[in-house]
Amino acid sequence: MPYEHGAYAVMGGSVGGNTDLVSGLPVYVGALPVHLTGLPPEGLVNKPVLLRNMADAERLVGYSDSWDKFSLCEALSAHFDNRIQNVGPIVVINVLDPKTMKKAGPKTAQVALVGGRGLITDDECIVGTVEVAGKVAGVDFTVRWSTAKQAVEFRDLTGEMTSPVTVTYDQVDLEQVTAAEVIGNSDPETGVYTGIRAMETVYQLTGSVPTMLCAPAFSSIPAVRLAMLAAADRADGHWYAHVLTDIPTDGVSTISEAIQWKADNAYNSAAEVTHWPKARRGGKVYHLSTLSVVAAMRVDATHSGVPMETPSNKPADIDGYYISGSEANFTSTQANLLNQNGIRTVAFTGGRWAMWGPHTAAFVHGDATPLSDTYDNTPRMLYFLANWFQVQYAREIGAPINNNRVDAIINEVRAYLDGLRTLGALLYADIEFEPIQVAGDLVTEGRFSFFSTATPTPPVRAYVLTLAYNEGGLSAYANGGVSA
């Protein structure tokens, strides 16, 4: 057994029968146009950055409509430019480093000036490197990225420059943003973490517990997905997070191909929900994993942050399906084919587009999937309880403890669990202290162990009305129009 010092929670097996800090904080890993902000990149590369709105995002990490280049701009749009309701905060970990990921040699461009102002229409431009021969940035001219214009604005401060102005600048090299960069590395000896492995530092650097992990545009790569699952399992030795992945649409263009791809690549963990295909809104295309995070956060907020309800059948801000560069249309029956194979999709139901599929990736209809692995709100609730316990009692580590305090902890946790039962989040829950004869010498070493079981409330998967014709009403004719 490893050395433990702190408050911990461990996921046990399924037991069969005869705060804001611990819920709903997603972490996204991918590329962002931080080179457009003009800020020093050191704090913006491979570091968790907490964002609460689009103003934060544009100022701290930049925004571009080129989602094929900067994968996490999709998440910024989904969370902070949502026609249904914006939702946050979110944490982003950007792997694009403009100091090292640069194209060879500067680019030269001609900027036409009108009234001393012009545009550099290049979102690969590293804003802080723009130069004009014989001129000083900040004295003779300024440059800044305009999200509205999707261009770098150039302004002549002297009023003496002749149009067009010749400028030079460095460009980011997006070919260096690879799956390996997204997976990242870790060096516990030096405390350096990059990519997905920087998940270890989220709690320390943001003060919030990471509870969901998403990497749109990369999670359909099996190696990335495995790194996500590893990072989400007790990040920093403590925190449990739910993983949201995608099945690719390039080369996977049919429902049967998606189901087969999932099976072939073993996207079948109860700790994840996997998705297919993509969705469109106007000219924008979203990964369904991103939309799942948004829907989950929105529904969690209706339950005071408790993840008791699946985001399935919750509104999605989209206009339809999107596969391999083109629009598509599936019926609800076809969507259910994906669901019964543990794949979440979207569907037009109840008069609006919604996320569709309450299952974890472990579920396959007809297989003996354990109940604990069937619905996505089950692991999310168990993770929530594990994270809550650790946050609740972390500050007691090092304090003296006696039987009265052990009893008090049991009563406190039971009271909290009873509150969740009243809320409807749990059908059953209890906690007990493992006696010394079970825990053994670990108690004398300061390890006090509790055991808890819980039954999260399952979702409604289907309502079925059986309707039959009854000829009894015809007796109204025999009784002069008055039914018996």
Percent of the chain with pLDDT over 90: 84
With 0-12 / 13-18 / 19 or more C-beta atoms within 10 angstroms meaning exposed / middle / buried, residue 270 is: buried
Give the pLDDT mean for 38-66: 95
pLDDT at 475 over 80: yes
Query: In the block, which residue shows the tokens 């994968």?
Result: 71
- What's the pLDDT at 101? 98
Q: What is the pLDDT of residues 207-228, one digit of tens each?
A: 999 999 999 999 999 999 999 9
Are 286 and 73 a contacting pair, CB within 8 Å? no
Give the pLDDT mean for 182-193: 94
Q: Strand, coil or helix: what is 192?
A: strand
- What's the pLDDT at 198? 98
- What's the pLDDT at 436? 62
Please give the model's pTM, rounded to 2 decimal places. 0.91
| Dist CA 297 CA 295 (whole Å) | 6
pLDDT at 477 over 90: no
Give the pLDDT mean for 161-168: 97
- What's the pLDDT at 214? 98
Q: How confident is the model at residue 16 (pLDDT cuts 50, 70, 90)?
A: very low
Q: Look up residue 280 and give its amino acid.
A: R
Pairing verdict, β 107-111 and 141-146: unpaired
| Dist CA 434 CA 18 (whole Å) | 23
Tokens found for residue 2: 């490893």
Give the pLDDT mean for 7-11: 56
Q: What is the pLDDT of residues 284-327, one digit of tens each?
A: 999 999 999 999 999 999 999 999 999 999 999 999 999 988 88
- What's the pLDDT at 387? 96
| Dist CA 342 CA 378 (whole Å) | 14
Q: Inter-axis angle of helices 288-301 and 73-80, to 10 degrees?
A: 30
Give the pLDDT mean for 391-407: 93
> Where are the alpha helices (H) located in 81-157, listed in sequence order?
none
Looking at every residue in the chain, the average pLDDT score rounds to 92
Q: What is the pLDDT of residues 71-93, one digit of tens each?
A: 999 999 999 999 999 999 999 99
- What's the pLDDT at 433? 92
Angle at the Cα of 478 (from 475 to 484), degrees rounded to 5?
45
- Of 106-115, 298-307, 319-328, 432-441, which gets the smallest average pLDDT? 432-441
Give the pLDDT mean for 365-376: 95
- What's the pLDDT at 188? 86
- What's the pLDDT at 367? 94
Tell me how far CA of residue 314 lies from CA of 25, 309, 348, 455, in angstroms.
18, 10, 11, 23
Q: Which residue has the higher pLDDT, 443 or 335?
A: 335
Q: What is the dihedral of CA 46, 50, 56, 57, to 10 degrees?
A: 40
- What's the pLDDT at 444? 66
Give the pLDDT mean for 192-209: 96
The closest alpha carbon to 453, from 474, 433, 425, 428, belongs to: 428
Q: What is the dihedral of CA 334, 336, 339, 345, to 10 degrees?
A: 60
- Of 4-8, 299-303, 353-357, 428-432, which gets the smallest average pLDDT? 4-8
pLDDT at 10 over 90: no
Give the pLDDT mean for 234-242: 96
Give the pLDDT mean for 193-198: 98
- What's the pLDDT at 37? 96
